[in-house]
Structure 1
Amino acid sequence: MELQVGSILEGKVTTITKFGAFVALEGGKSGLVHISEIANTFVNDVHDFLQEGQTVKVLVLSTENGKINLSIKKTQPQERPAPRPATGGRPVSRPAPQQPRSFSRPPQQAAQAPSGDQSFEDKLKQFLSSSEGKMADLNRSIDGKRGGGRRRR
């Protein structure tokens, strides 16, 4: 039997690996469900979502060179965002846009700030400032080893 891309089948999980799970299909064929195609959320460990011997619904993504790529998450209903509250025709007040933040904060302050209370932008600034310092140290070190620094007379 030839598998058609886009068809939904039932199969049994035969093997679980760190990169996904192999599923036995009808007709003695087997396909791979990559770790990114297991669930609509982040999957760190496949064992958290699947067990060997479990029957699952899979969608055929592709069949290339005898390899069958499958998806479990595309057989599951997509989560819809929560509906917005009705405003009754009244205009919705939105917060005023904020001014862009400055990137000129000294690295000492970034290193001392507690990481739990930082926004993404603050964490990114902290990372950039520390990596720039590390890159400067590394470049100085490499230049010294190559003899690119001052020459003695």
Structure 2
Amino acid sequence: MSIEVGSKLQGKITGITNFGAFVELPEGKTGLVHISEVADNYVKDINEHLTVGDEVTVKVINVGEDGKVGLSIKKAKDNPKQDRRKKNNNPKNNRDNTESFEAKMNRFLKESEDRLASLRKHTESKRGGRGAKKG
């Protein structure tokens, strides 16, 4: 079976790096699952999701001219729409939707003013402040 874009394959995790995981595919080929293609949500540490030796189902998302195979675990799942619905039920998302525009603007303005004041404080101290030179 040749490795073609769009095909789903079974593989075994052979190595993990900070940017992704290497998967051994049929016919002895190896592909890379980038950290952004491991799960539907943000993955800070890939080791929390995968370990060496795990059997995974992957979808081929690209095959480079140099033979490099790009893989995705999250696109190999059968129901990606169901995962999106779970995201929308997140309480954090609901809070943002129920907060009024005025409340969002007030919060944004306060945070902006705080950041600007802190920035001014640090830049003025590095330039020597606004005081007159002592003669």
Query: Same fold per TM (> 0.5)?
Result: yes
CA distance, structure 1, for counterparts of residue 53 and residue 46 of structure 2: 14
Q: How does 1:25-44 map to 2 (within 5 A)?
A: 25-44=25-44
Counterpart check, 1:128 vs 2:112: yes
| 1:100 paired residue number | 102
**What SS does the corresponding residue of 1:100 show, helix, strand or coil?**
helix
Q: Amino acid of the residue matched to residue 69 of structure 2?
A: I
Instruction: Name structure 2 gaps, 5 residues minimum.
Output: 87-98
| 2:61 paired residue number | 61
Instruction: Name structure 1 gaps, 5 residues minimum.
Output: 83-96, 104-121
| 1:118 paired residue number | none
CA distance, structure 2, for counterparts of residue 81 and residue 152 of structure 1: 66
Q: Give the number of the structure whose alpha-carbon radius of gyration is greater.
A: 1
User: Percent identity among equivalent residues?
Assistant: 37
Q: Amino acid of the residue matched to residue 6 of structure 1?
A: G
Structure 1 residues 99, 128: CA separation in 2 closer, same or farther (over 3 Å shift)? closer
| 1:23 paired residue number | 23
CA distance, structure 2, for counterparts of residue 19 and residue 135 of structure 1: 33
TM-score normalised by structure 2 residue count: 0.69
CA distance, structure 2, for counterparts of residue 21 and residue 135 of structure 1: 40
| 2:85 paired residue number | 81
